[in-house]
């Protein structure tokens, strides 16, 4: 993490790095933060195929993942255009290394039990719902277009998580305990969703994006309401919390996720079928 590393021109400064201030890099970084959240969570949700409680739930989580993958494709394509170095969606998804990914830690964490996944989906879909609602009026037409389509998709994702959290929370003593444990497990990763970062500040100033901190109230209110109905309690302020994803600093799980995601594309460069 020494100063002056060139992360293909799209890296925004971490704590000890030279701040990136040119608009192209900041715009690209903002698009990557949106696209990488969707791409990486799509990968995690895809892991549920054949592992969900029923085949119907395999389908549901697969559909959510595919919705997110569709969002990621459009956003990563746009990031490549703005960057202007000839990288398409495949190059963005398959040929970037860990330090170039700008997703939050929440979406890269390994799959827990089903309750924990519903806790993660509830938070993430609630965040994305607030996010895309705001981005409908983005000055970047691609972002506005994606947001318009995606807001309906994430509305359904949020509903799916809500239905399950209500049933598991207000179900049996075992389901209640495991749902509460799932909420506790994801809680240290939640705050990062609402944390402002350099590229988002640039994007908000230029009408392209929105400051994550302005979304938190809506997200928290929605989740708190669901938890109350589900007889669950909002976890206490965690003693530690994840940070750094937006600057490309990830947790241990991220390298393994990318290895699986990118393996085929890197083993057979340019392969088509």
Partner 1 sequence: MTQAGWPLWEVFVRPRRGLSHGHVGSLHAPDAQMALRNARDVYTRRQEGVSIWVVASADITASSPEERDSFFDPAADKVYRHPTFYEVPEDVEYL
Task: Give 79 or 226: the residue with its C-beta nearer to partner 1.
Answer: 226
Rounded least distance, CB 203 to partner 1, Å: 33
| 223 to 125, 159, 175: CA distances (angstroms) | 10, 11, 18
Our finding on whether 60 is near partner 1 (CB under 8 A) is yes
- Nearest-approach distance from CB 178 to partner 1, in angstroms: 10
Q: Is 229 in the site for partner 1 (CB under 8 A)?
A: no
Does position 113 interact with partner 1 (CB under 8 A)? The reply is no
| Residue 53 contacts partner 1 per CB under 8 A | yes
Size, binding site for partner 1 by CB under 8 A: 15
If one asks whether residue 81 binds partner 1 (CB under 8 A), the answer comes out as no
Stretch that binds partner 1, among 56-64, 70-78, 104-112, 134-142 (CB under 8 A): 56-64
From the list 82-90, 154-162, 181-189, 258-266, the region that binds partner 1 by CB under 8 A is: 154-162
C-alpha–C-alpha distance, residues 177 and 181, integer Å: 6
Cα 87 to Cα 80, 93, 103, 220, 234, distances in angstroms: 5, 10, 19, 37, 42
Does residue 152 belong to the site contacting partner 1 (CB under 8 A)?
no
d(CA 214, CA 209): 11
Cα–Cα dist 248/252, whole Å: 12
User: 19-22 — which CB contacts under 8 Å span 24+ positions?
Assistant: 19/198, 20/198
Q: How far is the CB of 114 from partner 1 (least distance, A)?
A: 8
Contacts of 163 (CB under 8 A, 6+ apart): none
Q: How many residues does the chain have?
A: 273
Q: Which C-beta is closer to partner 1: that of 148 or that of 175? A: 175
Q: Using the rule CB under 8 A, which residue among 59, 221, 234, 259 binds partner 1?
A: 59
Structure token pair of residue 6: 């060139």
- Is 56 a binding residue for partner 1 by CB under 8 A? The answer is yes
CB 67 within 8 A of CB 153: yes
Residue from 8, 24, 142, 175 binding partner 1 (CB under 8 A): 175
Binding site for partner 1 (CB under 8 A): 53-57, 59-60, 63, 114, 156, 159-160, 163, 167, 175
């Amino acid at each position: 993490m020494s100063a002056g590393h060139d992360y293909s021109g799209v890296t925004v400064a971490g704590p000890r790095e030279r701040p990136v201030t040119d608009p192209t890099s900041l715009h690209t970084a903002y698009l990557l933060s949106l696209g990488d959240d969707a791409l990486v969570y799509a990968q995690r949700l895809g892991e549920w195929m054949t592992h969900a409680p029923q085949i119907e739930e395999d389908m549901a989580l697969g559909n959510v993942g595919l919705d997110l993958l569709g969002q990621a494709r459009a956003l990563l394509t746009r990031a490549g255009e703005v960057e202007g170095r000839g990288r398409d969606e495949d190059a963005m998804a398959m040929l970037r290394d860990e330090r170039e990914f700008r997703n939050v830690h929440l979406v890269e964490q390994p799959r827990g039990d089903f309750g924990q996944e519903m806790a993660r989906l509830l938070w993430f879909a609630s965040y994305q719902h607030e996010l895309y609602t705001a981005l409908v009026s983005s000055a970047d037409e691609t972002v506005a277009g994606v947001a318009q389509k995606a807001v309906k998709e994430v509305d359904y994702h949020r509903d799916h998580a809500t239905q399950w959290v209500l049933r598991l929370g207000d179900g049996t003593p075992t389901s209640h305990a495991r749902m509460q444990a799932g909420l506790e497990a994801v809680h240290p990763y939640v705050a990062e969703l609402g944390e402002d970062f350099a590229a988002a500040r640039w994007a908000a100033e230029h009408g392209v994006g929105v400051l994550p901190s302005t979304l938190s109230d809506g997200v928290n209110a929605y989740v708190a309401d669901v938890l109350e109905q589900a007889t669950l309690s909002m976890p206490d302020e965690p003693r530690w919390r994840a940070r750094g994803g937006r600057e490309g600093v990830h947790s241990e799980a991220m390298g393994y996720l990318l290895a699986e995601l990118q393996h085929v594309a890197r083993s057979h460069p340019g392969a088509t079928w």
